[in-house]
Amino acid sequence: MKLIIAIVQDEDAARLISALMNEGYSVTKLATTGGFLRSGNTTLLLGVDDSKFQGAMHVIETVCKSRKQIVTSPSTITGDVGSYVPYPVEVMVGGATVFVLNVEQFVKM
């Protein structure tokens, strides 16, 4: 058995949860915040049998695609000391960060 921990952007979370549940996977959703863009993320926990692992990974890969987005960067100093002006930056968002752990024991009460 495997425990999949998938960190996805909030924008992708609802579609991913629906897709996983339609394929018969149980999902636990945790609201989290990303460190880089300080934006909302969702962390999903899935306990899957080894035989269903590749199927779950395929769903995650299919739904969570990386894309470019314009965001306002952290402020930068201009000519005047202490003057800050934010500027737009193009960054890659979306996709998924996935951790996979082996599960020694699973108990459902």
| pTM tops 0.85 | no
What is the residue range of 71's domain?
2-102
Give the pLDDT of the chain (109 residues) as one tens digit per residue.
999 999 998 888 999 999 999 999 999 999 887 665 566 789 999 999 999 999 999 999 999 887 776 666 655 555 555 556 667 776 666 678 999 999 999 888 8
> Is position 93 within any domain?
yes
Residues 6+ apart with CB under 8 A from 36: none
Residue 20 inside a domain? The answer is yes
49 lies in some domain: yes
**Where residue 75 sits, what CATH number does that domain have?**
3.30.70.120
Q: What is the pLDDT of residue 53?
A: 97
> CA angle 79-85-89, nearest 5°?
120
63 falls within a domain: yes
Structural domain count, the chain: 1
